[in-house]
Amino acid sequence: MAFVRRVGSYFEPQDHWKKLMYWANENAIFPPHQSFIGISLENPEFVKNDHCRHDACVTIPASFVKEKHISIQFKNLDDGQYALYSLYDESEKLNLAYKYMLYR
């Protein structure tokens, strides 16, 4: 998948999504064939807010030529167990989703 990483509090603006969405649109990568995924890599109860990493990701077709795209990063999602929270809204509302998941 392609991704843009942001380091900082999960409750601050999520501008890295805009960069990813622009790149995905320019490369005709969008639903329903591809999925957008947000990955929060730290638990803010154990890591300082300004060190929390979040990856805004989009799945890419297997035939996608990654070497042509130096403005974006790529990775595979490791096997394991993940918590899933579906959010179909504006990226700015991610703050509310984080608060709901972390502090309920």
DSSP 41-78: -S-TTTS-GGG-EEEEEE---TT--GGG-TTSEE-PPP
CB 17 within 8 A of CB 91: yes
Q: pLDDT digits over 3-50, tens only?
A: 999 999 887 878 899 999 999 999 999 888 898 998 888 888 889 989
Q: Place 80 in a pLDDT band, splitting at 50, 70 and 90.
A: confident
Q: Taking the complete model, does pTM exceed 0.75, yes or no? A: yes
* Residue 97: strand, helix, or coil: helix
What's the CA gap between 47 and 60, in Å, rounded?
30
pLDDT higher than 70, residue 92: no
pLDDT higher than 60, residue 91: no
- Residue 37 β-bridge partners: 57
At 23 the pLDDT is 95
